[in-house]
Structure 1
Amino acid sequence: MNDRYGRRSAILVADFLFFIGAVIMASAPNPALLIVGRVFVGLGVGMASMTAPLYISEASPAKIRGALVSTNGFLITGGQFLSYLINLAFTKAPGTWRWMLGVAGIPALLQFILMLLLPESPRWLFRKGREEEAKAILRKIYPANEVEREIQDLKESIESEVEETGSSEKINMMKLLKTKTVRRGLIAGVGLQVFQQFVGINTVMYYSPTIVQLAGFASNRTALLLSLVTAGLNACGSVVSIYFIDRTGRKKLLVISLLGVIISLGLLSAVFHETSSHSPLVSPAATSQFANYTCPDYGSAKNAASWDCMKCLKASSPDCGFCASSADKMFPGACLISNDTVKDTCHADDRQWYTRGCPSKYGWLALIGLALYIIFFSPGMGTVPWIVNSEIYPLRFRGVCGGMAATANWISNLIVAQSFLSLTQAIGTSWTFLIFGVISVGALFFVLIYVPETKGLPIEEVEQMLEHRVLQFKFWQKSSSTSAKNQAV
């Protein structure tokens, strides 16, 4: 749709899908229709996630292109924070979830109306032969002393594409992958999108309340409020990206971001290892106070004296919980069946009830680790992959390549989100974060080797750079022939 009908049209369709999906979800009489609404919203998310940064990139001057695409990232993360607040506000309203889901139709409708007032991407118009429309838009975007050069560069880029591929709009995927500039761009762009997810960001965003509970905070409300802090830090990190992206460059920001992510994941892994290996013991005396609710696995265990909180929570027939000591949560407690009646009974004795994580002296360190993770991830790995993907591909292939990268991102998102809780149950939270840390090290080497620097370059020059550069270990370097040409110029 981006290549055939234009960026603006694709965003309008995405807004329409958002709005229809929100209305269907809010009015759904059964789960089946709720899922139908989610499908519409999912299609809208997928289209908007790659089209919005692409549109912004193609309608922005090179000097501030990174900052404007980063602003898109800030508004996404800021919107996530706002959605937490809105959901919190609706928790006590009648028809709670209908309001939560239905209110999403308002920004979709607003953006649809406002998009009608905006022009199409000038680069897409140029590619379609509508040069006068494109020139009129470019003259509004660029200063008078730069606009003619931009028009000339864009014209030369289009002419060379047509000369190479002809005027046919049909894209040959095999030829696309054999084209050096496209192949190099796809390696960098798709790789960044995959690593963005596999360093674990959406486990933190989706499951931050769960992670807080795994760190030893028993209260659901406390966990939800602390997840608000996570969402707020994510939005603040996007502001940092807006400031630094066109000053330090894309690659340096990615390297700094990944170094911080590796340190943060190492800290989280160490904290959860300490939490699981030093959890409070299960006391027969404390458990006997709740004789009717004793966890069956504990009651029938031959080595019950070795049981601690973590072993209690891993019992599965049925699920069991840990009722902490009223004197000190780190003292031995009771291992009981997990249900609402037992939970209320435990709370009645001024005890804390744990079903996900165990009491820990190091819970505050886990919060610091989560905060550091978001602070480092958001300005670099959070926004830069979308920026790079909006500027690294030749114009003719920008829509389809951006779509491939966005698809890789969402598939990776699905894999990580669906596997996180299973991994924590199978190998423990500590090892799960350690795996993300190892992947982050791989991501760092990938950035050093495969990702070029596009800071301040007109989009047409990015294509030339990919064409003439040769791959060297650690960095992209200009080939000798290109250096000679540049010296001659």
Structure 2
Amino acid sequence: MEGGAAEADASAFRECLSLSWKNPYVLRLAFSAAIGGLLFGYDTGVISGALLYIRDDFKAVDRKTWLQEAIVSVALAGAIIGASVGGYINDQFGRRKGIIFADTLFFIGSVIMAAATNPTILLIGRVFVGFGVGMASMASPLYISEASPTRVRGALVSLNGFLITGGQFLSYLINLAFTNAPGTWRWMLGVAAAPALIQIILMFMLPESPRWLYRKGKEEEAKHILRKIYPPEDVEDEINTLKESVEMEINETTSASDKISIIKLLKTKTVRRGLYAGMGLQIFQQFVGINTVMYYSPTIVQLAGYASNRVALLLSLVIAGINAFGSIMSIYFIDKTGRKKLLLYSLFGVIVSLVILTVVFHETTTHSPKVSSIETSHFNNTCPDYKIAFNPSEWDCMKCLKASPQCGFCASASNKVNLFFLIE
């Protein structure tokens, strides 16, 4: 990346804030591109609340847990495909067009989901949304990094991460707003089409990444954009740095004697270590459990004893709010403490949280109350598997919950406000 690494100090964050009056054009570029992160976060959060109402409308989804899991996970499968082809689209057609294409897919998917008449159509819409999310996850941060001043690049790229968590928080607010509206989940899923359309309009009004333009031989266009991004005294230095960086990249990829290959890169120690660190972080952060919490947060809350859909969404909103607050803190500290320290502090917090969750879940399971036929009969024998079990005396509440999604709690079918635990 041209410009190199910026010095990590507190003034970088203040400089980022000062752009609102010094150079709002830069913030406009960053925020417009970061809407892709908002779409990602919104989809992550909204499906968790919408799923509660989808189960009410489509009985097949309520009866089959694998169908619930498919509705959630098929978007992730689409995102994998979208991300894999996103790099090619970004390089061939530009970062701006890549974002617009991703938004178009997301918009189509949102409309399909909102109009779905059966689970199959809903799944198709989720696939389109996944394609869009995957492509945007590649294009948005890349566009921001290549269109941001070097000194505040870290903070501006962090906007994409902040809007991911902000989108999750917004999704729970939207879910709450439509809990009593006709169509409930259709509105929840369909509203996502609005920010996708807004970003399409904004990106049509913005230029292409200066680095991509320079790479494609459109030097004058690239220089024109750089003059709008950097202060006059820094423009020439940035133009020369960009020129040298792109020329070096072109020479390395076209030279027959020094052609870059995967094998050659892996043989280079610094490149190999950087690849391990980058890919390792991306892979292992998916296994810490936060995605499960965000996708199934209201369902987990209900299994904990809060049967009301509205209460479950309210409590999930707290989780999303804390998540978004953490992103705000990272924007401030990323250029103050540096990437490595911030990462180590975050990983320590993740480890502590996972240990606490493990202990709590283990204690809940091992101390689960036994099930008795007398207490079960008070709730109309809502655990059918218990009635036909060979060893009902060994059953506890956790086993009931695993046996059937109908077991565990009883609530009013109309509003799920009255909560009673299966066993006292």
Q: TM-score, normalised by structure 2?
A: 0.69
Please give the alpha-carbon distance, in whole angstroms, between the structure 2 residues aligned to 1:289 and 1:104.
43
Please give the alpha-carbon distance, in whole angstroms, between the structure 2 residues aligned to 1:154 and 1:224.
48
Structure 2 match to 1:62? 150
Structure 1 match to 2:289? 200
**The one of 233, 246, 254 aligned to 1:166:** 254
Structure 2 match to 1:437? none
Q: Over residues 198-253 of structure 1, what are the superposed CA-to-partner deviations in whole Å (9 max), with x where a residue is unaligned?
A: 11220111122233345454554433221111111111111111111111111111
SS class of match (2:407): strand
Paired AA for residue 214 in structure 2:
F
Structure 1 match to 2:352? 263
SS class of match (1:45): helix
The change in CA–CA distance for 1:204 and 1:152 in structure 2 (over 3 A counts) is same
The change in CA–CA distance for 1:159 and 1:97 in structure 2 (over 3 A counts) is same
**Superposed displacement of residue 31, structure 1:** 3.5
Q: Does 1:275 align with 2:361?
A: no
Q: Does 1:140 align with 2:208?
A: no
Structure 2 match to 1:418? none
The answer to whether the 8 Å contact 1:58/1:122 transfers is: yes
Aligned-CA RMSD value? 3.2
Structure 2 match to 1:151? 239
**Superposed displacement of residue 260, structure 1:** 0.5
SS class of match (2:361): helix
Structure 2 match to 1:450? none
Structure 2 match to 1:230? 319
Q: Over residues 293-321 of structure 1, what are the superposed CA-to-partner deviations in whole Å (9 max), with x where a residue is unaligned?
A: 675536755572x543334434x3x6673
Q: Does 1:246 align with 2:332?
A: no
SS class of match (1:133): helix
Please give the alpha-carbon distance, in whole angstroms, between the structure 2 residues aligned to 1:321 and 1:137.
61
The answer to whether the 8 Å contact 1:215/1:272 transfers is: no
The change in CA–CA distance for 1:103 and 1:140 in structure 2 (over 3 A counts) is same
The change in CA–CA distance for 1:183 and 1:123 in structure 2 (over 3 A counts) is farther
SS class of match (1:73): helix
**The one of 101, 117, 124 aligned to 1:36:** 124
**Superposed displacement of residue 2, structure 1:** 0.5
Paired AA for residue 204 in structure 2:
L
Q: Over residues 144-174 of structure 1, what are the superposed CA-to-partner deviations in whole Å (9 max), with x where a residue is unaligned?
A: 3322222222212222222222189x99666
SS class of match (1:246): coil
Please give the alpha-carbon distance, in whole angstroms, between the structure 1 residues aligned to 2:198 and 2:334.
29
Please give the alpha-carbon distance, in whole angstroms, between the structure 1 residues aligned to 2:137 and 2:232.
32
**The one of 130, 135, 148 aligned to 1:47:** 135
Where structure 1 has 5 or more consecutive residues not aligned to the other structure, the ranges are 324-341, 360-489
Structure 1 match to 2:56? none
**Superposed displacement of residue 184, structure 1:** 4.6
**Superposed displacement of residue 85, structure 1:** 1.5
Please give the alpha-carbon distance, in whole angstroms, between the structure 2 residues aligned to 1:290 and 1:134.
70
The answer to whether the 8 Å contact 2:386/2:392 transfers is: no
Quick check: 292-301 or 221-230, which moved more? 292-301
Paired AA for residue 211 in structure 2:
R
The answer to whether the 8 Å contact 1:217/1:223 transfers is: yes
The answer to whether the 8 Å contact 1:77/1:235 transfers is: yes
Q: Over residues 171-203 of structure 1, what are the superposed CA-to-partner deviations in whole Å (9 max), with x where a residue is unaligned?
A: 966666667776554333222211121112201
The change in CA–CA distance for 1:13 and 1:154 in structure 2 (over 3 A counts) is same
**Superposed displacement of residue 351, structure 1:** 6.6
Quick check: 203-212 or 124-133, which moved more? 203-212
Please give the alpha-carbon distance, in whole angstroms, between the structure 2 residues aligned to 1:33 and 1:124.
38
The answer to whether the 8 Å contact 1:18/1:41 transfers is: yes
Tell me the matched-pair count: 332
**The one of 302, 308, 313 aligned to 2:401:** 313
SS class of match (1:248): coil
The change in CA–CA distance for 1:166 and 1:227 in structure 2 (over 3 A counts) is same
Paired AA for residue 420 in structure 2:
Q
The answer to whether the 8 Å contact 2:100/2:200 transfers is: yes
Structure 2 match to 1:118? 206
**Superposed displacement of residue 270, structure 1:** 0.8
Please give the alpha-carbon distance, in whole angstroms, between the structure 2 residues aligned to 1:273 and 1:22.
39
Please give the alpha-carbon distance, in whole angstroms, between the structure 2 residues aligned to 1:291 and 1:199.
39
**Superposed displacement of residue 131, structure 1:** 1.4
The answer to whether the 8 Å contact 1:343/1:353 transfers is: no
The answer to whether the 8 Å contact 2:90/2:139 transfers is: yes
The change in CA–CA distance for 1:295 and 1:104 in structure 2 (over 3 A counts) is closer
**Superposed displacement of residue 45, structure 1:** 0.8
**Superposed displacement of residue 37, structure 1:** 2.4
The answer to whether the 8 Å contact 2:176/2:314 transfers is: no
Paired AA for residue 64 in structure 1:
V
The change in CA–CA distance for 1:213 and 1:269 in structure 2 (over 3 A counts) is farther
**Superposed displacement of residue 29, structure 1:** 3.8
**Superposed displacement of residue 92, structure 1:** 2.0
Paired AA for residue 352 in structure 1:
F
The answer to whether the 8 Å contact 1:321/1:353 transfers is: no
Structure 2 match to 1:473? none
Structure 1 match to 2:182? 94
Please give the alpha-carbon distance, in whole angstroms, between the structure 2 residues aligned to 1:157 and 1:48.
25
Paired AA for residue 396 in structure 2:
D
Please give the alpha-carbon distance, in whole angstroms, between the structure 1 residues aligned to 2:251 and 2:170.
49
Q: TM-score, normalised by structure 1?
A: 0.61
Paired AA for residue 146 in structure 1:
D
The change in CA–CA distance for 1:226 and 1:126 in structure 2 (over 3 A counts) is same
The change in CA–CA distance for 1:3 and 1:183 in structure 2 (over 3 A counts) is farther
The answer to whether the 8 Å contact 2:307/2:411 transfers is: no
Paired AA for residue 353 in structure 1:
F
Structure 1 match to 2:107? 19
The answer to whether the 8 Å contact 2:107/2:197 transfers is: yes
Paired AA for residue 338 in structure 2:
G
Q: Over residues 341-388 of structure 1, what are the superposed CA-to-partner deviations in whole Å (9 max), with x where a residue is unaligned?
A: x6559x99x87235xxx98xxxxxxxxxxxxxxxxxxxxxxxxxxxxx
**Superposed displacement of residue 125, structure 1:** 1.1
